[in-house]
């Protein structure tokens, strides 16, 4: 596996692969890799002839009061994991090269970013779409893989690709969970043992929602109230949002009459965790 820091070197490698007719698969990450990331990597390995994984903790997508500084990092451990998976290039640029002095151009998906996480993390998705478009221009992938764990992010990126006519196929990958249901996340490392126990309430709440709907409850106001009570009956938890939205437009629904996305964000101690599930009536 080649480790590449420089943008020009990454571009050159990809240009050469393209000339050779290779199909380039790409998995962008912020590192501190877990089995969720590695599942995306394995899918990339299957779908492309060449596989690039990026590790870049993107300062642009963190708010001033968020965890950019504390975000867990371990490049050597990550590199060893990726090497084992047969990744061709690990691209890990420096923030100084990605955002040199004078940088002032951003990409914004206007509507899909208004609700859910976008409502609580102003500027977050603008940071995500800007860095992802930059990474696409540098890595020049034919396809890129994103996790459904970050459901809104996946929809936002699909929209950007469509709206800007980018020649990249966006492939979604189902959420990878621990045996007990906790969605894997680099931020799970913030959890103490007791907090981790409480963090299970997110997945349990999503299943609870599915069961309530199956038993006939359709009223979103009622569902939200029950889920919030359930989650906050666990110590260290504070619900940021529980939303039921149309799975493609991400607009709120009042009644669960068709397949609906239930998405939640919950603080467990200082860790802000998200999870989601498609609920079928
Ligand atoms: P991150 O490093 O958190 O920015 O995540 C990089 C990519 O991995 C994103 O596309 C995420 O949606 C995806 N990802 C993170 N956690 C999981 C998970 N538990 N299951 C599936 N995909 C995930």
In the block, residue with structure tokens 């990331």: 37
Instruction: Name the catalytic one among 37, 124, 173, 234.
Output: 37
Quote the pLDDT of residue 191: 98
Q: Is 185 in the pocket of ligand 1 (CB under 6 A)?
A: yes
Token pair belonging to 240: 């940021």
In the block, residue with structure tokens 């799975």: 247
Quote the pLDDT of residue 269: 97
Give the CA count within 13 Å in the CB-facing half-sphere of 159: 20
CATH of domain 2-173: 3.40.50.620
Strand partners, 52: 26, 89
> For 243-260, how does the pLDDT look when each residue is reduced to its tens digit (9 = 90+)?
999 999 999 999 999 999
Quote the pLDDT of residue 250: 98
For the beta carbon of residue 34, count every other beta carbon within 10 angstroms: 16
Q: Examine the residue annotation and report whether 34 is marked as an active-site residue of this protein.
A: no
Strand partners, 137: none
What average pLDDT does this structure show over 217-231?
Answer: 98
- pLDDT level of residue 99 (50, 70, 90 thresholds): very high
Among 56, 54, 135, CA closest to 87 = 54
CATH architecture of 186-274: 2-Layer Sandwich (3.30)
Rounded to whole angstroms, how far apart are CA atoms 218 and 212? 8
Quote the pLDDT of residue 197: 98
Quote the pLDDT of residue 92: 98
Q: Treating both helix axes as pointing N-terminal to C-terminal, what angle do 7-19 and 124-139 enclose, rounded to 10 degrees?
A: 50
Pocket test for ligand 1, best of 149, 155, 178 (most atoms within 8 A of CB): 149
Domains 2-173 and 186-274 share a fold: no
What average pLDDT does this structure show over 139-157?
Answer: 98
Q: What percent of the chain has pLDDT over 90?
A: 100
Quote the pLDDT of residue 66: 96
Q: What is the mean pLDDT of the chain?
A: 98
Q: How much is the pTM? A: 0.98
Quote the pLDDT of residue 75: 98
Pocket test for ligand 1, best of 28, 35, 36 (most atoms within 8 A of CB): 36
Q: Is 113 in the pocket of ligand 1 (CB under 6 A)?
A: no
Quote the pLDDT of residue 97: 98
Q: Is 265 in the pocket of ligand 1 (CB under 6 A)?
A: no
Rounded-to-10 torsion of CA 27, 34, 56, 200: 110
Among 79, 62, 60, CA closest to 70 = 62
What average pLDDT does this structure show over 76-80?
Answer: 98
* Atom of ligand 1 at shortest range from CA of 150: 12
Q: How far is the CA of 221 from the centre of ligand 1 (A)?
A: 30
Quote the pLDDT of residue 180: 96
* CA-based end-to-end distance of the chain: 47
Q: Is 184 in the pocket of ligand 1 (CB under 6 A)?
A: yes
Quote the pLDDT of residue 266: 98
> For 25-38, how does the pLDDT look when each residue is reduced to its tens digit (9 = 90+)?
999 999 999 999 99
Q: Is 250 in the pocket of ligand 1 (CB under 6 A)?
A: no
Quote the pLDDT of residue 136: 99
Q: How far is the CA of 149 from the centre of ligand 1 (A)?
A: 6
* Residues 1 and 75 sit within 8 Å (Cβ to Cβ): no
Which burial class, exposed, middle or buried, applies to 174 when counting CB atoms under 10 A from its CB (0-12, 13-18, 19+)? exposed
What average pLDDT does this structure show over 86-111?
Answer: 98
Q: Is 156 in the pocket of ligand 1 (CB under 6 A)?
A: no
What average pLDDT does this structure show over 168-188?
Answer: 98
Domain ranges, ordered by start, for the chain? 2-173, 186-274
């Amino acid at each position: 596996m080649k480790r590449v820091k420089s943008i020009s070197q990454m571009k050159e490698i990809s240009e050469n692969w393209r000339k050779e007719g290779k199909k380039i698969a790409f998995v962008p990450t912020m590192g501190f890799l877990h089995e969720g990331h590695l599942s995306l990597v394995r899918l990339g390995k299957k779908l492309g002839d060449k596989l690039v994984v990026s590790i870049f903790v993107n300062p642009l997508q963190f708010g001033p009061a968020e965890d950019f500084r504390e975000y867990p990092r371990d490049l050597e451990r990550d590199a060893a994991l990726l090497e084992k998976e047969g990744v061709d290039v690990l691209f890990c640029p420096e923030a100084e090269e990605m955002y040199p002095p004078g940088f002032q151009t951003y990409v914004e998906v206007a509507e899909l970013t208004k609700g859910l996480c976008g409502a609580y993390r102003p500027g977050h998705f603008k940071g995500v779409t800007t860095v992802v478009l930059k990474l696409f221009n540098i890595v020049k992938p034919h396809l890129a893989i994103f996790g459904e764990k970050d459901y809104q992010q996946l929809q936002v990126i699909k929209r950007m690709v469509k709206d800007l006519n980018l020649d990249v196929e966006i492939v979604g990958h189902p959420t990878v969970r621990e045996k007990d249901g906790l969605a894997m996340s680099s931020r799970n490392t913030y959890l103490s043992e007791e907090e981790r126990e409480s963090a299970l309430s997110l997945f349990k709440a999503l299943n609870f929602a599915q069961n309530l709907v199956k038993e006939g409850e359709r009223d979103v106001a009622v569902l939200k109230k029950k889920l919030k009570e359930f989650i906050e009956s666990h110590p260290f938890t504070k619900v940021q949002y529980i939303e039921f939205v149309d799975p493609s437009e991400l607009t709120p629904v009042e009644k669960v009459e068709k397949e609906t996305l239930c998405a939640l964000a919950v603080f467990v101690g200082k860790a802000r965790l998200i999870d989601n599930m498609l609920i079928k009536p």
